[in-house]
A and B are shown apart, each in its own frame.
Chain A
Amino acid sequence: MKPKTFCYFLHEAFCGIFRNSLISLAAIGIISIALVLFGLFYIFTVNIQHLGTLAWDKIEVRVFLKQDVSNTEKIKKQLTQIPGVRDVKFIPKKDGAAALERLLGSKNLFTDDDNPLPDCFHLSPAEKANIDEITRLASAISGVEEIVYGQKFVNFLKVLIRLVLVMGLVLMIFSALAVLYMVVNTIQLTVYARRNEIEIMKLVGATNSFIRWPFLLEGIFLGVGGAFLAVLLLTKGYGFLLGKLRRLNVYIPLLRCTEVNQPLIISLFAMGIFFGGSGSLFSLRRYLKD
C-alpha cells in the first residue's frame, strides 16, 4: 500500500465519522458504556483479590514444641525448608508468657522456671501455599507437639478468593461480549448509512480490501474514542471513591489508583481497538459477499 493510499483511507475514515456524526457519537457512547462496565468488574475483581492476599498475609501457622526441646535452631532450619513457608519466627516461652500477660492484663503470671507455656514458631505461608501440606510436614519434625492455625478461616478465604476470581472473570467475559455486540450493532448503523457508497465503490472497481480499510480505521477510531471516555470515567471515578473513603475515615486497604490505572488503561484501549476494528469488519461482511 502506498502512503498516499493510506492517507486517503485515513481521510475517508475521518470523513465517515464526521459526516455521520450522530451515529458516531452514539457508537462512542455505547462502546464507552460497555467498556466502563468491563472496567468496573475489573476494578472490583482486582480489589477483592488484593484484599484476599492481604488477609492471607495475616495467616499464621503456630508450631508448638514439646517441653524441654533444646535443638530449636535445627527445628527452625527444618521449618524454613518446608516449601511454601515464607517466614519463620521463633517465639520463646517467655515471650509467649509476656503476650499472655498483656492479654490478661496481669503481671508476673509465671516466674521463668515454672512457665508452662511451650516454645513456639510462627510460620507465615507464602501466597497460594498449601497450608495442609505445610502442617503435615511440620508435624513430622521431631520435637513438634502441636500445630494450630485458623483452619476454617483459611478454607473460607481460599473458597472466597477462587469464587471472586471466577465470578469476576465470567463477568468480564460477559461484558467483553457485550462490548462486541454493541460495537457490531452500532457500526452496522454507520455501515448501513453508507451502503450506497459501498455499492458504488464496488461498481467502479474497488477491491474488497480497499473498501474495508476506511471502515476498519473508522471502527478503530470509534473504539479508541469509547476507550478514552471509559478510562476517563473510571480513573476519575476510582480516584474520587478513594478520596471519599479517606475523608470519611473509612479504612479499607484498596489498591491505589496508580496500581489500578496502568493495566486498566492498557486493557480498555486494547479492547476498544480490537472490538472497534473487528466489529466494523464483521458488519461489512454482508456487503462484500460478492
Chain B
Amino acid sequence: MILAKDLTKIYSNGVVALDKLSLSVEKGEFVFLVGPSGAGKSTFLSLIIRRELPTSGFLTVNRQPVALLKKNEIAFLRRSIGVIFQDYKLLPNKTVYENISFALEVIETSSREIKQRVYSVLELVGLLNKARVFPSELSGGEQQRVCLARALVNRPLLLLADEPTGNLDPETSWEIMDLLREVNKRGTTILMATHNKIIVDKLRKRVLALENGKLVRDTIRGGYTLET
C-alpha cells in the first residue's frame, strides 16, 4: 500500500523532517507511527497525501509514484485516502453535516447517497444529534469525531490518523480505537500517528518508531517503547 525508499524531506527553512526513511506498509495492515514530538510523523503523512513534496527519495501509494502525479491524479489519489488531521481542519462556517457531505460533493455523489452515507457515518461516530451544529459549538473530542466521520465517508482504501485520540478522554479514546479496528477489519489500511502509550501497548499492532526523521524501530506486535 505504502512504499518509501530513502525518503527525505527538508523544509524550506532547512529543518530535516525526514532523513532517508525506508519502509513499507501492506494492504490491510494496522500500523502505529510513534516517536517524540518533531520526529517527522505528520510530515510523513503529508507526503503520502502529497500536501508536501519529498526533497529526495521515492514514495508510492497504492503503486502510484506520488511525486510524479499530475494535478487531477493527485485529486483522485486523495479521494482514496481518508485523513484525520492533527488540527481537524473542519470548515468553521459549515455545519457538521456539510463538513462531511462536502467530501462527497467533491466527487459528485448523488444527493440521496450523500444523505444516506453522511447519516450512517454520523451514527457510527455517535454524533447524529449534532448534524446541524457548527464546529465551534462542539467540544474538541466531538470535532475529532467529525473529522473521523469525514475521513470515513468515502470509504477510503487507506486511513491516515494523526493523533486521533489526542483530545479525548480514555473512554472515548477506546471508542474511537474500536471504530478504527472495525474499519480495519473491513479492509481499510490504517496508519496512525500517536503518543498514546496505553493504546499502543494494549493493542499490540505493528509499530514504526521515528526519531529525528529516521526509522529507529519496526516491530510486529510491538509496544510504545522497546521495553514494553
Contacts and interface: CB of A to CB of B under 8 A. Distances in A.
Contacts of B89: 196, 199-200, 203
A208 B106 contact: no
Given A4-B111, A5-B108, A196-B91, A205 B103 contact: yes
B150 interface: yes
A146 interface: no
B79 to A, nearest CB: 4
Contacts of A201: 102, 106
B214 to A, nearest CB: 27
A54 to B, nearest CB: 57
Contacts of B13: none
A98 to B, nearest CB: 84
A208 B150 CA distance: 20
Interface in A187-209: 196-197, 199-208
A203 B72 contact: no
Nearest to A193: B93
Contacts of B75: 202, 205-208
Nearest to B50: A290
A174 interface: no
A203 B83 contact: yes
Nearest to A7: B111
A290 B49 CA distance: 12
Nearest to A8: B105
B110 A4 contact: yes
Contacts of A202: 75, 78
B71 interface: yes
B174 interface: no
Given A4-B111, A290-B71, A204 B106 contact: yes
Contacts of B49: 203
B125 to A, nearest CB: 17
B78 A203 contact: yes
A205 B109 CA distance: 13
A198 to B, nearest CB: 10
Contacts of B77: 205
A144 B107 CA distance: 84
A35 B150 CA distance: 44
Contacts of B11: none
Contacts of A4: 108, 110-111
Most buried by A among B77, B83, B103: B103
Interface in B164-191: none
A19 interface: yes
Interface string B127-164: 00000000000000000000000100010000000000
Nearest to A208: B71
Interface string A204-241: 11111010000000000000000000000000000000
A19 B93 contact: yes
Interface in A69-112: none
A200 B151 CA distance: 12
Contacts of B106: 201, 204-206, 210
A202 B102 CA distance: 11
A196 B102 CA distance: 14
A266 B63 CA distance: 54
Point out which of A202, A203, A290 has the most chain B C-beta atoms below 10 A from its C-beta: A203
Interface of B: 49, 51, 53, 71-72, 74-79, 83, 85, 89, 91, 93, 102-103, 105-108, 110-111, 150, 154
Given A203-B85, A205-B107, A290-B74, 15 more contacts: A5-B108, A8-B105, A19-B93, A196-B89, A200-B91, A201-B106, A202-B78, A203-B83, A204-B79, A205-B79, A206-B75, A206-B106, A207-B72, A208-B71, A290-B53
Interface of A: 2, 4-5, 8, 15, 19, 196-197, 199-208, 210, 290
30 contacts: A2-B108, A4-B108, A5-B105, A8-B105, A15-B93, A19-B93, A196-B89, A199-B89, A200-B91, A201-B102, A203-B49, A203-B51, A203-B78, A203-B85, A203-B89, A204-B78, A204-B79, A204-B102, A204-B103, A205-B75, A205-B76, A205-B79, A205-B103, A206-B106, A207-B72, A208-B71, A208-B72, A208-B75, A210-B106, A290-B74
